[in-house]
Chain A
């Protein structure tokens, strides 16, 4: 049975208990500041704060392997491309035969990698500590249409369901002699037998899902009672405004010469 596209980690930290909007605001602001910050040192400072929050939420052990898996190849690629080919490259850092790695390019690559790290850690901080259903519920409690809320939640479920379907279809075709491993040509040939059943089953599932919703009165224009009420305190609202205010402040600081 699909778990849903959620990497939520059970917990009872302050971050787990915080309102989804507070965590969402924190995520967006951390990403924004990470990209507005002018130097590697400042971006690292944002990253350290995010790492502290991940530790506070007790999800750091889950975060590290995921982050490394994403960040290492990106960083390596950035270092190679920027280190060798950045147009601003002037100062040789490490000669490699006919080529050289340049200090300027490496600095650009490290800054970009640090910003990506902020993006990843802020996103995972939200994902690890917030149930997708709670986020959608919070949005609906602020006036989001239940239809849109459903779209958000079902999208999170449909993707893993489709992945499971794809795995079943792949098994069924391989069991009939379809080669799905090997050369690019072989894999290209396998594309159609895998794709068509997936598309057809997705269409059928969508239709069935729509019918199942309608027969349960999803389209009725009635007052809807909330399954859960997410507590939102004055402190959290104030914290959100404080976080939001940091963004124009940071932009202003950049214009004022923040280096």
Chain B
């Protein structure tokens, strides 16, 4: 069973501002790291907000982890879809990082022991254990972003949405993020990463969904998505640097990610 299924989903904001028109979006995703890419205004964030009921589709059905979204409130969906928003300051309000990360599981009325374990685990995996008692607003923006990622993690949901997780992150932090995504995938979760950072996609996401102007242009392996340079450009993006370099050097197949590029270089020697 797919972790996520959209069936002919159409959506328009009030005032008939259409984002997904007929015949609607149809999409199935299973556990793994999937990138959701597209130009600004393509509908990426709208799509993710449909997954937890923050927005309701005009027509069509959405099923997450076997549960129809239409039959659940947003608060109920929080147990199924962990969501790290783009701007951490939209959610931080507790006095400590620990309480901030614990807010979601507590709101879901989970037992205290389970909350403690989930929070400790999330803080460790996000490199925030030393900051548990720090006020979130005493942290820099990149670390505040990690607090929101830890919050999404602590929900222990089968689906995790990370909206622009690499924004403002340095190289080392991106490496930690890649490792975190891999560990979530290893625990059989679906990680949906909304991003413009195709270098990160190349490193961390095995699958990619390309959304342009409210239409799904591509769903499949990232390596095949990056083989279609025209489609990537149409989505307002550019290929990862290693892939562009590989193309310029005439490598076939086109290398996706540093590892693939280094292997391609090695084979040429």
Contact = CB atoms under 8 A, between A and B. Distances in A.
A192 interface: yes
Interface of B: 49, 52, 54, 73-75, 77-79, 81, 83, 85, 87, 89-93, 103-105, 107-108, 137, 151, 155
A204 B73 CA distance: 32
Contact of A176 (B49, B137, B155): B155
Most B CB within 10 A of own CB, among A174, A177, A178, A193: A177
14 contacts: A165-B90, A168-B85, A168-B87, A172-B85, A174-B54, A176-B83, A176-B151, A177-B78, A177-B103, A177-B155, A178-B107, A197-B91, A200-B89, A204-B89
Interface in A160-179: 165, 168-169, 171-179
A201 interface: yes
B92 A197 contact: yes
Count chain B CB atoms within 10 A of each CB in A165, A173, A204 and give the residue with the most: A173
A181 B52 CA distance: 16
Given A176-B104, A193-B91, 8 more contacts: A175-B54, A175-B74, A175-B78, A176-B91, A177-B155, A178-B75, A196-B93, A197-B92
Nearest to B48: A175
Nearest to A181: B73
A164 to B, nearest CB: 11
A83 to B, nearest CB: 37
Contact of A177 (B54, B75, B87, B137): B75
A174 B90 contact: no
Nearest to B92: A197
The 7 closest A-B pairs by CB, nearest first: A177-B107, A177-B78, A196-B93, A172-B91, A176-B104, A175-B83, A174-B74
A175 B93 contact: no
A201 B73 CA distance: 27
Contact of B90 (A172, A177, A192): A172
Chain A contact-residue range equals: 20 to 34
Contact of B137 (A165, A172, A175, A200): A200
Given A171-B49, A175-B78, A197 B104 contact: no
Contact of B107 (A165, A171, A176, A200): A176
A177 B49 contact: no
Given A179-B73, A179-B75, A181-B73, A168 B104 contact: no
B89 A173 contact: no
Contact of A193 (B79, B103, B155): B103
A201 B85 CA distance: 15
Contacts of A169: 90-91
Contacts of A165: 90
Most buried by A among B83, B104, B107: B107
Q: Which of B52, B78, B83, B89 gathers most chain A CB within 10 Å? A: B89
B56 to A, nearest CB: 13
A176 B73 contact: no
A177 B87 CA distance: 18
Contacts of B52: 175
Nearest to B103: A176
A197 B103 contact: no
A171 B104 CA distance: 13
